[in-house]
Structure 1
Amino acid sequence: MRVFVTGAAGFIGRAVVQELINHGHQVLGLARSDASAELITKAGGLPHRGDLEDLESLKSGARAADGVIHLAFVHDFSNMAKCTAIDRAAIEAMGEAMAGTGKPLVIASGILFLPKGKLTTEDTEPDRNHPFAERGLSADLVYQLSKEKNIRGSVIRLSPTVHGKEDKGFIPALINLARQKGFVTYVGDGSARWPAVHRLDAAVLFRLALEKGTAGATYHAVAEQAIPIKDIMTVIGKHLQLPVESKSLNEAAEAIGFFAHVISSDNPTSSDKTQKELGWHPSQPKLLDDIEANYFSSESKAKYSS
């Protein structure tokens, strides 16, 4: 299968490209720069120049492929409305090019805007009042395209931490914050729980959804469903030799800003349905083991602090 991948040069994207190629697929990767094009070429893919706001490049990439995996997203949390509007326009453009073909369109979404404090599943509706709720509108669009345009669209909700070597997401950000502040913090008793998935396991899931996902389906990229935040912070504190402190939400917000709300989110999440339907079996290192092994080595310090 020839697959058009947006975000192909990114942290998850490079793993997806390699997973696809290792299983006999060809990859056409969206490249917005020479550096991105070089990364895609090194991974064995063919660069396709353009970006998320170049709708004609997205349409031509989708037309030239047998399926699409959409990973790219503009991560500007100060203007979520604009970012999500760009994302929906990109999905609509690719969907228009694929209409009537029955080809697969797999997009990345998230878990953070699901309801808090209870185990959520693939059938759980997002919290439409969450600050990031607009992110879920892209998923709604894919479901709509699946029904109205004969596209085999599916949505993969990613864990808030997709971890692995070269990670530049939440865990490295928390490590850097701790270094800057001189302490590690969690909110309340630290019992808020996060799901997690290794990037290589996530890449396998994207391939499986592309190959045999159901139109209109939601899948969860969750290998571990409920890791207490306190456990994560304790590992970080141990390696940095810094105190690990409990704070109220307001105190934490004063100290670490936006991240206080992220680490106070209690998001236990199941992927049982995903694993059964697609035969997905996560096999990579778990989050705490990965942090211990790869996030504080001399080699990783430069990667994770850059």
Structure 2
Amino acid sequence: MKIFVTGPSGYVGAEVARLLLSDGHFVVGLARSEARAEGLRNAGIEPVIGELSDLDVLAKASASADAVIHTAFFHTGDYAEATRLDIAAVGAMTDAMAGSNKPFIMSSATGVLGETGPVPVSEEFPLDPHHCIKPPGSRVICERAALLAAGKGVRIMVFRLPPYVWGNGGSFFIPLHLSAAREHSKAYYILPGTQKTCGVHVEDLAKLYLLGIQKEAGIGIYHTTTGNDYTAKQIAEAVGANAGVPTEGISAESAIEQGIWPAWAVPVFAMNNCASSAKAERQLAWGDYRSTDMLQDIASGSYAQKS
């Protein structure tokens, strides 16, 4: 299959592209510059130069592909503008695929769920309208824009990624924690520390994207988690073990005042965010996971090797 991937140089997108290539697919990737394009060529990916705002470029690449995997997102600092631009990008790609019944997979986040409580919830979990008007909950607007494209004759899947996509020394929040711990000589967590969050190894996540384009049953929203028992305090302890610093609880207000992390990240660290992947396991035959031991990997695995 010829598969168009946005974000093929990113942490998740690069792993997805690598797995697609190893499975024998021809991968076309969006590159923001000639330098990025050269990197894609070296990885065996055919580059298409353009931004997510270049709607004609997106439409042309999507129309000629057998499947589209959208892992990119606008990280501009203006979340409202990023959401607007993403909706336009999704519209351009799915319009170009109209009537084909080809698969389109969009990356979202379990952050849209907001506070779930400590028990993993399904894709049917009711969303809090107050949470959905601000980041990260407002990304649900992008989800809905994608799901509407099913009416155009496109097989739409929305993959909600957990806060902690981890492994191979990458991720977003884990390096953020490690950097904060080294800067402040303490591994902080938001009190009470018992709040739970979810995660998935990046290689297991990539397998799900591959299954999504392979399994015709795939349609709708899927949670993409393999672990839901990580508490805020446990994560801080693993970070502290890596950085060689003590662990300490702190209130959300104090964390923002002291600038421990970016202010937008603090609510993510303060809430329970637990999502069940039973639907993905049932409908897409996802399983045989590489690893679910995120805490060990932070403390003494791939993140320790890069510290």
Contact 1:60 1:97 in 2 (8 A): yes
1:121 alignment counterpart: 122
The share of aligned pairs that are identical, in percent, is: 33
Selected match of 1:192 from 192, 195, 198 = 195
SS in 1 for 2:112: coil
> What letter matches 2:202 in structure 1?
R
1:234 alignment counterpart: 237
TM-superposition CA deviations, 1:232-270 (whole Å, max 9, x none): 100111222212111222122223242332211211211
Separation in 2, partners of 1:243, 1:215 = 45
Q: Indicate how the Cα distance of structure 1 residues 223 and 168 shifts in structure 2: closer, same or farther if over 3 A, else same.
A: closer
Separation in 1, partners of 2:64, 2:229 = 40
Aligned residue runs from structure 1 range 136-175, under 5 A: 136-146=140-150, 148-175=151-178
1:225 aligns with 2:228: yes
1:288 alignment counterpart: 295
TM-superposition CA deviations, 1:49-99 (whole Å, max 9, x none): 1110100100010011011000110123x3111001110000000111111
1:104 alignment counterpart: 103
Contact 1:226 1:267 in 2 (8 A): no
SS in 2 for 1:128: coil
TM-score normalized by structure 1? 0.92
How far has the Cα of 1:21 moved from its partner? 1.3
Contact 2:165 2:171 in 1 (8 A): no
> What letter matches 1:51 in structure 2?
E
Q: Indicate how the Cα distance of structure 1 residues 149 and 84 shifts in structure 2: closer, same or farther if over 3 A, else same.
A: same
1:254 aligns with 2:257: yes
Please, which runs of 5 or more residues in structure 1 have no aligned partner? 302-306
> What letter matches 1:35 in structure 2?
A
How far has the Cα of 1:116 moved from its partner? 1.1
Contact 2:168 2:302 in 1 (8 A): yes
Contact 1:114 1:120 in 2 (8 A): no
Separation in 2, partners of 1:166, 1:145 = 36
SS in 2 for 1:112: helix
Please, which runs of 5 or more residues in structure 2 have no aligned partner? none
Contact 2:212 2:218 in 1 (8 A): no
Contact 2:109 2:159 in 1 (8 A): yes
Contact 1:223 1:282 in 2 (8 A): no
SS in 2 for 1:245: strand
Separation in 1, partners of 2:36, 2:288 = 28
Separation in 2, partners of 1:42, 1:221 = 29
TM-score normalized by structure 2? 0.92
Name the stretch that deviates more: 194-203 or 207-216.
207-216
Aligned residues: 297
2:89 alignment counterpart: 90
Moved over 6 A (4+): none
Contact 1:112 1:267 in 2 (8 A): yes
Selected match of 2:272 from 261, 266, 272 = 266
How far has the Cα of 1:129 moved from its partner? 1.9
Separation in 2, partners of 1:215, 1:143 = 13
Name the stretch that deviates more: 111-120 or 197-206.
111-120
Q: Indicate how the Cα distance of structure 1 residues 189 and 224 shifts in structure 2: closer, same or farther if over 3 A, else same.
A: same
Contact 2:114 2:271 in 1 (8 A): no
Separation in 2, partners of 1:239, 1:50 = 39
Name the stretch that deviates more: 50-59 or 258-267.
258-267
Separation in 2, partners of 1:272, 1:227 = 18
How far has the Cα of 1:281 moved from its partner? 0.9
Q: Indicate how the Cα distance of structure 1 residues 80 and 142 shifts in structure 2: closer, same or farther if over 3 A, else same.
A: same
Q: Indicate how the Cα distance of structure 1 residues 117 and 103 shifts in structure 2: closer, same or farther if over 3 A, else same.
A: closer
Separation in 2, partners of 1:37, 1:6 = 12
> What letter matches 2:128 in structure 1?
D
